[in-house]
Amino acid sequence: MASIKYTIFYGLITPENVWQCSESLYGCRTLETYNTTVTLKDLAPFTNYTVRVAMSNFYSIGMSSPGPNAIFTTAEGVPSEPILLQAEALTPTSIAIQWRPPVKPNGHPLSYEVRWYRDGSVHKWHSMSYLSAPDEQPLSYRMLLKDMAPATNYNILVRAYSRRGDMHSDSELLSVATFELPGNLTLARVTSREIDLAWTAPSEPIILSHRIEFLKPHTSEWRYLTSEATEANRTYIYPLRKLQPRTPYSLRMVLTYRSSLNDSFAWPPEGHHFAFHTLADSPGRASPPEVSTLGRDLFQVRWDDVPRNGGELLLYELQVRSVDSIDEQRTGDTEQAWITAYNSSANHWIIRDLPAQSQYVFRVRALNEFGEGEFSSPSEPFTLPEPGAVIGLQSNSIRSIIVFVFLGILLFASVLLLSLYIVYKRRQKEKKVLQDNVRDLRPDLELATLSELPRNGNFIQQNNALYALGDLPLDEELASVPLIERDQIILTKFLGSGAFGEVYEGIAHNLGGEGVPPAKVAVKNLRKGATEQEKAEFLKEAKLMRAFGVLLWEVMTMGQQPYPARNNLEVLHYVREGGRLDNPDNCPDDLHDLMLRCWSYNPEGRPDFAFCLDTLEFLREKYQAFASIATAVHNHNYLGQSFTGRHRLLSSHLI
């Protein structure tokens, strides 16, 4: 049998899907062999080829028609080098790299490695970055190198890797230098209210523009201050005005460098800033003093606090000047007429040692270790009356008698009408409560039995954690307080009301559990719309009894017990309704006025201990001639009757 000769026709398929070896066999490469296995050489890597085979032998006339096309793909090869490499410094710490993929990738996908080293580096290639090519190959690639060293020359190339990373080729090597760091903002001039800053631009025109930002106080938010185009080697001065004394100010610069991207560069870098401090200064000008009446024959000069302006110490100097006429009030402002009456750190002074029946004006200034502030404007003229006199009236005149009589009659009539109106409203409300058998009760309640309450003073402290006078109750103690459901209580009688709300008498069923006989109880509820402070005070009335005013009362009575005719529950209701301890016998009215101020309804209206000390010292000097004080006291207002006196609207806050 004759041997068969095989003729192989093959050719590549271009990326554009053009077949070099088509049906006409024109352009095909050929190879003849008598073997059934053959190796095609000199092929391109990662390329598709078409292969067709025709057969013939010694006896045939020509070749047979070639068989169908078979398509084969060669393996990946070494990619050619990346082309058109570009490197550009954007800022002192960043470089932009751009390149195009190899002309002959010889594989897909490729990956790229940006390699660089610094001039003088011990390890040549000490930093690398990788970038994988996407499925669709772009025309060019870009990578940003950050955290580079300023003013440093870098040598950079790009390496292309085959898919498996076992073959690669390198681009050309480029050299690029980063920019130098810009100059710092420097302090040109500083005072307590002003700062002048200076900045010099680089000698080369590498910066397009610059702006200055300041850090908003107590935040991390940067705010715009000013900006302008940058001229090379120019020194800029930036004045900051209307600043506060002894205050830190944080600033930074944002520079735009000339490049293809015009990137911005914050200087100092993130997390840092330029810090400047204004100088300390003498205090500012104080507001005009004001004179107020604290009690009988007791007057106080007070003024607003003055900013320290960076000083550690702050003292006040209060000066006084007598005024004899209207003309002198307006024109007589000579410095010799002013006399220093007070030097201290407190912003108030109780008037003492000034002749009565004279008119005065006051002015004040603040001082610290850096100097003296300006004096305030003079206060409004103030006439100091005789001790025991009423301000603005002559106590020995007929006019005073007429006014007092008229005011007394008017006050008596007003109190009488008000009392009748209150009694009428209470009876109407009590009648409505009894008729409707009120079932609705607000959620904030206090509950106490009436008939079973012992008369010893510490019963509530020992049996109700909400009235503890010592430390606050523990969680276990609070948990032991019984929970009273609303449907266990039937209200039977309206007892009264006050600033806190209303009090009812009622019957509680199963108060101690199933089978326990009904008990008479008193139920107190908060008024509608009570504030959080009132809700808190609602649960700590007994603790608030420890007041400085009560202590003064006990001292003046030589240790008598307050409220001797009432038990704890009655005392609480009495105080809530505005009741106050009477003035002890032989106790000066001035001292009792101080006690009443300690029991003021508004906590802000109560004096501080410095004021109490000044008042007590003043009263000691005024009444030092008194040798003894009687101890008897009769509290007529609270013996078995609800209090309806002039202090009804005062709060139960006693401290």
Which residues does the annotation place in the binding site for ATP? 524
Task: Name the nearest CA neighbour of 612 among 594, 630, 592.
Answer: 594
Per-residue b or e along 425-442, where b marks 16 or more CB atoms closer than 10 Å to that residue's CB: eeeeeeeebeeeebeeee
Two tokens, residue 139: 């025309």
SS3 letters across 320-342: EEEECCHHHHHHCCCHHHCEEEE
Residues 232/203, Cβ–Cβ less than 8 Å: yes
Q: How is 408-462 classified by DSSP, letter by letter? A: HHHHHHHHHHHHHHHHHHHHHHHHHHHHHT-----S-EEEEESTT--SSTTHHHH
DSSP, collapsed to helix, strand or coil, labels residue 93 as: coil
* Single-letter amino acid code for the residue at 474: L
Sheet strands side by side (includes 94-100): 83-91, 94-100, 141-145
DSSP, collapsed to helix, strand or coil, labels residue 87 as: strand
DSSP, collapsed to helix, strand or coil, labels residue 33 as: strand
Question: How far is C-alpha 579 from the geometric centre of its chain's CA atoms?
Answer: 42
Please report where in the chains the tokens 């480029």 appear, as a residue: 174
CA dist., res. 574 & res. 107, Å (int): 98
Task: Name the nearest CA neighbour of 484 among 533, 532, 441, 538.
Answer: 441
Dihedral in degrees, nearest 10, Cα atoms 217, 221, 226, 230: 130
CA dist., res. 52 & res. 28, Å (int): 10
Please tell me the number of Cα atoms within 13 Å of 262 on its side-chain side.
3
Per-residue b or e along 148-176, where b marks 16 or more CB atoms closer than 10 Å to that residue's CB: beeebebbbbbbbbbbeeebbbebeebeb
* Single-letter amino acid code for the residue at 589: D
**Helices 589-598, 609-622: crossing angle, 10 deg rounding:** 170
Residues 362/319, Cβ–Cβ less than 8 Å: yes
CA dist., res. 232 & res. 206, Å (int): 8
For the beta carbon of residue 410, count every other beta carbon within 10 angstroms: 10
- Residues 6+ away with beta carbon under 8 Å from 310: 192, 245, 246, 247, 278, 279, 280, 281, 370
Task: Name the nearest CA neighbour of 160 among 97, 77, 103, 80.
Answer: 80
Residues 379/338, Cβ–Cβ less than 8 Å: no
Residues 300/349, Cβ–Cβ less than 8 Å: yes
Task: Name the nearest CA neighbour of 559 among 588, 589, 584.
Answer: 584
10, β-bridge pairs: 29, 51
CA dist., res. 80 & res. 507, Å (int): 101
